[in-house]
Chain A
């Protein structure tokens, strides 16, 4: 296969596919892809991936695991195809009733290569965080947090506060601006620096450390920092070029 053929495994079946469609159309128009919506949280998925010894069963194949319980024929067909890359996009769900934060951390440590076992991106508190910007540039985004008790209302909160509610109006500069803000936010969470990172810093971006900080903050203070890591997928596709592009539009 000389062409990229991506599989996105998402939690939701409405917002995520729409966002992915738009983002790829504007940022990576030449890739082929399918979206498989799991419609259940990562906390549920996590329980299916571990063997009795408490470690991820590395002989499992994520598509096969999802197929085990999928009865919809057209969705099964999506899982039967071959892909060059598998991208998992899930919400942190700070308010989950039966959380599996320990297991999810192990999943993040395991799902690190989209062309092999898959790459997992976690969004804090959830996918809709991509648009949690009130203007551009938005310097207050640095400190934008959400309380655990408000997480179940997060979609409404974002829709009230966002200046970028209408996905259909998104263009390339808006995507670059969104990615830039989330890159700066990641840098701020990790290094207290609200600025764009270099290409090398991006390559070494520590998703586990971000997760640890978010997890601790949720546990201790009952809040999480708003951050969408899924949009970094676009940068990872060609980080040298994309970091320059983001700078251009910031």
Chain B
């Protein structure tokens, strides 16, 4: 197969504040000749979504990551399930559609749900050919092409219809490395959502240890953490580690000072704590296929936000969506007009598609954003 595994397109309907269908199409790239590292195999690989408060920037993240709860036992968070259906719609199901590109094979996986944990409909297409379709309400199964996913011998007699068919197939068949089911599962288990606002919650991925400080110490990463802070945030904190004696010996991070050390957790600013969290996930980036960081730079100085984007650009393996309010990041020196999106009135459009004007590398996108050029 040629090319990487990527999410090409995602749509959702009747979910949270999205009454009508909203789509993010990563194929909608323009022919810009600069910052080509934002694009991979013809698909947008680094995207930043802007939008006013309440437009649903966080909800679009929860929606994309719905598939993690549908197909895996990985972590999900309560906001994904709460107020699941749109409160204005008469429709009783939310509709999700994922189009993946696995090399040159296009896979579309659609499903409907009435609640976060309640499937009502599901279908799978490979290169536009329907593999199966299952209606959970009528219990009607159309599975004429199960051979395409090496599941033709699977017995559905004992299928209890409380989990997705695709998940049942993945759990109950032996799939080769080249199989589409395996590719979907490998992609979904490598999706990661996190944010550094209020709490350190996340969706997807495995984690070894929830105490980040302890994780850094036990993996001998204290020195690297210091370097990371210095390089990206221009911070010289002289972080070290110390053993806390007590009923159970625990390792903690400290800041070394002339007269006495300070406990890192007690003295770290919101920004530094946010960087600690970023550092933790950053050490996992090599295993991530799809990353969403909500309000990624809420606690960052504007220069630091740019450094973080430059850091993320190094990870070609990881399709990335960020949300932000920081217009300083809108710059053709960082990304390009087809990678900046505006979420407005239930629609997601790139800057390039939000104006009739032909945008050039020379355009000052930040100024144009502030002046309302992309509100169109």
- Chain A residues near B (Cβ < 8 Å): 48, 57, 59-62, 64-68, 80
Contacts and interface: CB of A to CB of B under 8 A. Distances in A.
B333 A60 contact: no
B367 A64 contact: no
A62 B363 CA distance: 8
Contacts of B367: 59, 61
B364 A61 contact: yes
Contacts of B360: 60, 64-65, 68
B55 interface: no
Interface residues of B, number: 12
Contacts of A61: 332, 362-364, 367
Contact of A68 (B333, B361, B364, B371): B361
Nearest to B366: A61
Contacts of A64: 332-333, 360-364
B156 interface: no
A80 B364 contact: no
Classify the secondary structure of B's interface with A.
Answer: loop
Nearest to A66: B362
Contact of A60 (B34, B364, B371, B373): B364
B267 interface: no
A59 B333 contact: no
A67 B34 contact: yes
Nearest to A62: B362
A188 to B, nearest CB: 38
Contact of A48 (B34, B333, B362): B362
B37 to A, nearest CB: 14
The listed residue with most B CB atoms (<10 A of its CB), out of A57, A59, A65, A66, is A59
Nearest to A48: B362
A57 B368 CA distance: 11
Given A59-B368, A65-B362, 18 more contacts: A48-B362, A59-B364, A59-B367, A59-B373, A60-B360, A60-B362, A60-B363, A61-B332, A61-B362, A61-B364, A61-B367, A64-B332, A64-B333, A64-B363, A66-B362, A67-B332, A67-B333, A68-B361
Nearest to B33: A68
Contacts of A59: 363-364, 367-368, 371, 373
Contacts of B364: 59-61, 64
Contacts of B373: 59
A57 B364 CA distance: 10
The listed residue with most A CB atoms (<10 A of its CB), out of B333, B367, B368, B371, is B333
Contacts of B362: 48, 60-62, 64-68
16 contacts: A59-B363, A59-B364, A59-B367, A59-B371, A60-B360, A61-B362, A61-B363, A61-B367, A64-B361, A65-B360, A65-B362, A66-B362, A67-B34, A67-B362, A68-B360, A68-B361
A67 B361 contact: yes
B125 to A, nearest CB: 41
A250 B235 CA distance: 49
B352 to A, nearest CB: 14
Nearest to A49: B362
B373 to A, nearest CB: 7
A61 B337 CA distance: 14
A60 B364 CA distance: 5
A60 B361 CA distance: 9
Contact of A80 (B333, B363, B371): B333
A233 to B, nearest CB: 23
Contacts of A67: 34, 332-333, 361-362
A86 B364 CA distance: 15
Contacts of A62: 362
A57 B34 CA distance: 20
A59 B365 CA distance: 8
B326 to A, nearest CB: 15
Q: Nearest 8 A-B pairs (CB), nearest first?
A: A65-B362, A64-B362, A61-B364, A68-B361, A60-B362, A80-B333, A59-B368, A64-B361
A207 B332 CA distance: 32
B356 to A, nearest CB: 12
A64 B364 CA distance: 8
Nearest to B364: A61
A113 B259 CA distance: 49
A110 B284 CA distance: 49
The listed residue with most B CB atoms (<10 A of its CB), out of A61, A68, A80, is A61
A228 to B, nearest CB: 28
The listed residue with most B CB atoms (<10 A of its CB), out of A64, A65, A67, A68, is A64
A80 B309 CA distance: 15
A62 B34 CA distance: 16
A171 B361 CA distance: 41
The listed residue with most A CB atoms (<10 A of its CB), out of B361, B362, B371, is B362
Interface string B43-86: 00000000000000000000000000000000000000000000
A66 B362 CA distance: 7
A210 B143 CA distance: 82
A60 B365 CA distance: 8
B302 to A, nearest CB: 10
Contacts of A80: 333
